[in-house]
Amino acid sequence: MTIKDVFQMAKENGVKVVDIRFMDFPGIWQHFSVPICELEESSFEDGFGFDGSSIRGWQPINMSDMLVIPDPTTAKMDPFFEEPTLVLIGNIVDPITREPYSRDPRNIAKKAEAFLKSSGIGDTAFIGPEAEFFIFDSVRFESSRNLAFYEVDSIEGIWNSAREESPNLGYKPRLKEGYFPVPPTDKFQDLRTEMMLTLQDLGIDVECQHHEVATAGQAEIDMRFKPLLQMSDQMVWFKYVLKNVAARNGHTVTFMPKPLFEDNGSGMHTHLSIWKEGKPLFAGDKYAGVSQEALWAIGGILKHCKALCAITNPTTNSYKRLVPGFEAPVNLAYSSRNRSAAIRIPMYSSSPKAKRIEFRTPDPSCNGYMAFSAILMAAIDGIEKKIDPGQPLDKNIYDLPPEELALVPSAPGSLDEALAALKADSEFLLKGDVFTQDVIDTWIEYKTKHESNAVKLRPHPHEFFLYYDI
């Protein structure tokens, strides 16, 4: 898509409004709109000004002026706005130096792709995320000085099996039994299909959609793998589409990793493969049909996993899912087919083109631009340093005797632990100036102050259940 193509698209679709979008530091899409008459060819060089001090984790008030430069290759028509609206994703630059902004997540993804090429290892990193989510009928919450509560509800929730629904027809998935039921137990088939078809209308390739394991509308829609930056752009569209399709049908979607107690959380198993000159680097004759480079990449991800989690599992809620002994892959090991390991080598196909590694620890609360980049940087570090991942663990990890399980390292148990690991192990991210020290320091500071400490300082409702009568 060239600049001329953008204007042609606008003309063909009768566009009246242009929506400029970019990702903030923690990972929420931001936007503002201009009339189509304000979009000129020079806009793709001059950009549009905005207040960077009002964006979370970005500029101080005395250096607030920033520019967003639209990328013509990202042009799409918004499927939800009443007036025909053209959407352009932008890159953030300093208005004086014109340098790309180090804390712009999209800039980090662009630099990660460039670093892969400069390393000589490969020229393309393909990413395939499997983002799980919940579809609820309603959500209520409050957190104040003397009050804290949340409540989510769903027609599918097993807790509603006795609710008066005039009539209650039953067919509600039991805890941990929601994987692949047909309707009427699966009540969101049509909604997920609408989400899937909306994504396809936007040019986003989708492989499948289905109900997931948990009760109360847990679901998954899988996008077909794409190069890192393209998939990062698609990931923000993915969340935007799912939330808006749900909203216009009277439902709400959340990508929180663990919104329900005693049922499965939402993960984002992330598939990675590296290619060079049209050939897959990860296909070979080693364990499970992968190459030595793939094993080294696994070694890099496992070595840096604790630090990676600060970016791939970046919320306090993430660690309600990552609990040893439960369903989440917290064990830092690799295997073919064994889904209790942090890294799995999928065995669905023997084709060299299908050879990839699946990092199962991440969750969909992450900022895709930063998470995919960090995973790639860990893999590159493993290949460059020839990091041995050790022997695969093909046993059922949950059945291991305590003395064997003690030898298997585990993912962090809290956001604080992950942030401490990132502080101690960030050198692999700094290569090629992909993640700058400023980005690492600001990320740790922001997450500690605004999320970790904010949660630690507040009484938890369950503490009243446990301790009020002491």
Active-site residue, 51 included: yes
Question: Which of the residues 71, 194, 212, 416 is marked catalytic?
Answer: 212
CA distances from residue 73 to 4, 87, 188, 229, 388 in whole angstroms, order as listed: 11, 11, 33, 12, 39
Count Cα atoms within 13 angstroms, Cβ side, for 335.
17
Q: Which of 21, 251, 269, 304 is catalytic?
A: 269
Catalytic site includes residue 132: yes
Marked catalytic residue, from 220, 222, 363, 381: 220
Report the chain's terminal Cα–Cα distance, integer Å: 66
**Do 98 and 250 contact (CB within 8 A), yes or no?**
no
Q: Is 358 a catalytic residue?
A: yes
Strands 331-336 and 341-345, how do they pair?
parallel
Catalytic residue among 174, 337, 339, 460: 339
Rounded CA separation 309/301 (Å): 10
Active-site choice (358, 363, 416, 451): 358
Residue from 41, 46, 51, 207 carrying the catalytic annotation = 51
Active site residue 130: yes
Question: Which of 325, 331, 353 lies closest to 344, judged by CA?
Answer: 331
Residue 326 carries which side chain, given as an amino acid letter? F
DSSP state of 393: -
Q: Which of 71, 78, 130, 194 is catalytic?
A: 130
In the residue annotation, 12 being an active-site residue is answered as no
Question: Is residue 339 annotated as part of the catalytic site, yes or no?
Answer: yes
Q: Which of 71, 132, 233, 263 is catalytic?
A: 132
Active-site pick, 271, 360, 363, 451: 360
269 annotated active-site: yes
Strand partners of residue 227: 126
Q: How many helices (H) and strands (E) does the chain have?
A: 15, 18
Q: Which of the residues are catalytic?
A: 51, 130, 132, 212, 220, 269, 339, 358, 360
